[in-house]
Amino acid sequence: MKRAAIIALSSFALFTLPACDKKEAPPTSGSAAANAPAPAAPSAAPTVLAATPPVIDLDSLPVEEDFEGEAEKTLTLTNLNTQLDALEKEINSP
Distances in Å between the alpha carbon of 39 and those of 29, 42, 63? 19, 9, 55
**Mean local confidence (pLDDT), 37-50:** 63
pLDDT value at position 53? 85
Q: Considering the chain, what is the average pLDDT of its residues?
A: 75
The model's pTM is 0.32
Close Cβ partners of 75 (under 8 Å, ≥ 6 residues apart): 83
**Mean local confidence (pLDDT), 26-34:** 57
pLDDT value at position 20? 56
Close Cβ partners of 74 (under 8 Å, ≥ 6 residues apart): 83
Domain locations in the chain?
Answer: 63-94
Residue 19 confidence (pLDDT) above 60: no
